[in-house]
């Protein structure tokens, strides 16, 4: 009997690992270009952190969080998202004093016990960026621009940016009441989940995937029609700045996002052709979150991108580069010399594999051919005695006329192989 992986928890095999690394590296470069600095956050937090921030009556906290009692009785949770952790870290480290305006990013695995399906896993990877301490529309536009630029740079093609405003403490309570009234009026037409959401979290009615609810909610009041003047002006400025930067966005009046802490701007990046799970990222403004976690009253805006979905949308074909050289010992006595030479070549920047002295030269050559190795450095009894290796140029199909000393530095050996040998030919 073998033990399988846990449902929804994937192994990232070598075919996928190179593409992921490339996406993460490209994202980091873009984040640095926007002046964001990385924070590495723990995977485990106190469970209450998420209940306080994401909201008690959200799907994430109610149904999806991996929360458990530690041996000392404290309640811990595997982080389901990064913003709450990042804000906690920001406050805990006292960064609000040194960095009243902070641009920070994180990347790493998140955990949600959702129903696994294409593009949805229980462990997935996010890249998230947060801009804390700015409440102006320019900050929202920067966040959206950054998310879009990361996706483009990572090769994600055919995505659109959807945007909405969720209002603030001034205008949202009245809107919430309007939604509750609408829900009560149409309670018979709602699914069981939505019925229980009416009083607890009415905004989520707009999120429901059940066809009947979706149709009904098409006729519900929309936040966008009920924004107070400052929220309206803020939203218009965000749109204006994005337009001036050449970033196209489309309005989605029904977008509410799953978390309680958003206010004003909410946005999502949606990729074509991904099927049901087509959101590659989302974010928004969360003024009040820093204060809620015991920090100063600072505004904030940010987003998280899903790396697995970005890779799916980018159709990444990246693979790890194979070895450039094979050092082939032909007898047991050559193994030590081979290991030492291979190490020198690697220190000089080459990708080098060592063959096994137990395999015949022919077999070693065959595998070198398969892996696309350019040079095979052969060390047999004769080479050991003469103090220099025979080098086979695989493209030319013949040995180089010049051999190089076994004790050469990596750089000398490479020069002999790539230049010297052929020049003298």
Judged by the rule CB under 6 A, the positions of this chain that interact with ligand AMP are 81, 112, 114, 120-121, 124, 126, 258, 279-282, 304, 306, 308-309
Question: Distance between CA 263 and CA 302 in Å, rounded?
Answer: 12
Question: Distance between CA 376 and CA 328 in Å, rounded?
Answer: 7
Question: How far apart are CB 17 and ligand AMP at their closest, in Å?
Answer: 17
Residue (269 or 325) nearer to ligand AMP, CB: 269
Question: How far apart are CB 233 and ligand AMP at their closest, in Å?
Answer: 26
Q: What angle do CA 116, 119, 123 make, to 5 degrees?
A: 60
Question: How far apart are CB 406 and ligand AMP at their closest, in Å?
Answer: 52
DSSP string, 187-219: GGGS-HHHHHHHHH-GGGGGG---HHHHHHHTT
Residue (153 or 331) nearer to ligand AMP, CB: 153
Question: How far apart are CB 379 and ligand AMP at their closest, in Å?
Answer: 49
For residues 106 and 86, the answer to whether their CB atoms sit within 8 Å is yes
Residue (241 or 280) nearer to ligand AMP, CB: 280
Task: Give the number of other CB atoms < 10 A from CB of residue 187.
Answer: 11
Closest CA relative to residue 272, chosen from 314, 239, 307: 314
Question: How far apart are CB 2 and ligand AMP at their closest, in Å?
Answer: 25
Residue (168 or 308) nearer to ligand AMP, CB: 308
Residue (121 or 375) nearer to ligand AMP, CB: 121
For residues 321 and 353, the answer to whether their CB atoms sit within 8 Å is no
Question: Distance between CA 407 and CA 419 in Å, rounded?
Answer: 18
Question: Distance between CA 423 and CA 116 in Å, rounded?
Answer: 59
Tokens for 214, please give them: 């979706």
Residue (149 or 412) nearer to ligand AMP, CB: 149
Dihedral of CA atoms 46, 50, 52, 56 in degrees, nearest 10, equals -120
Question: How far apart are CB 405 and ligand AMP at their closest, in Å?
Answer: 54
Question: How far apart are CB 116 and ligand AMP at their closest, in Å?
Answer: 8
Residue (84 or 327) nearer to ligand AMP, CB: 84
């Amino acid at each position: 009997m073998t033990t399988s992986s846990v449902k929804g928890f994937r192994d990232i095999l070598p075919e996928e690992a190179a593409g992921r690394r490339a996406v993460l590296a490209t994202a980091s470069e873009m984040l640095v270009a926007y002046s964001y600095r990385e924070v590495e956050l723990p995977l485990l937090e106190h469970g209450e952190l998420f209940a306080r921030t994401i909201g008690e009556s959200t799907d994430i906290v109610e149904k999806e969080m991996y929360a458990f009692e530690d041996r000392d009785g404290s309640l811990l949770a595997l982080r389901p998202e990064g913003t709450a952790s990042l804000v906690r870290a920001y406050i805990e480290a006292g960064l609000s004093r040194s960095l009243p305006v902070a641009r920070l990013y994180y990347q790493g695995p998140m955990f949600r016990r959702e129903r696994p399906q294409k593009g949805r896993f229980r462990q997935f990877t996010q890249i998230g960026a947060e801009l804390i301490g700015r409440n102006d529309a320019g900050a929202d536009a920067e966040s959206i621009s950054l998310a879009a630029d990361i996706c483009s740079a990572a090769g994600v093609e055919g995505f659109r940016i959807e945007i909405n405003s969720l209002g603030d403490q001034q205008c949202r309570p009245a809107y919430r009441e309007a939604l509750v009234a609408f829900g009560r009026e149409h309670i018979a037409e709602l699914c069981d989940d939505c019925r229980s959401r009416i009083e607890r979290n009415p905004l989520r009615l707009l999120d429901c995937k059940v066809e009947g609810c979706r149709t009904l909610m098409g006729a519900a009041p929309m936040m966008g029609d009920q924004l107070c003047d400052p929220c309206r002006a803020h939203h218009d400025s965000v749109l204006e700045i994005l337009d001036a930067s050449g970033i196209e966005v489309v309005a989605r009046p029904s977008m509410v996002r799953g978390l309680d802490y958003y206010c004003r701007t909410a946005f999502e990046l949606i990729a074509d052709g991904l099927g049901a799970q087509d959101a590659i990222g989302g974010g928004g403004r969360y003024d009040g979150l820093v204060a809620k976690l015991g920090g100063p009253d600072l505004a904030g805006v940010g987003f998280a991108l899903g790396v697995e979905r970005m890779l799916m949308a980018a159709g990444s074909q990246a693979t790890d580069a194979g070895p450039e050289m094979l050092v082939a010992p032909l007898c047991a006595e050559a193994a030590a010399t081979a290991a030492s030479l291979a190490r020198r070549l690697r220190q000089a920047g080459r990708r080098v594999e060592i063959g096994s002295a137990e395999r015949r030269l022919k077999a070693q050559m065959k595998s070198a051919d398969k892996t696309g190795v350019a040079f095979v450095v052969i060390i047999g009894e004769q080479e050991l005695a003469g103090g220099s290796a025979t080098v086979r140029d695989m493209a030319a199909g013949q040995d180089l006329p010049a051999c190089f000393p076994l004790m050469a530095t990596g750089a000398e050996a490479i020069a002999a192989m790539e230049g010297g040998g052929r020049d003298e030919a």
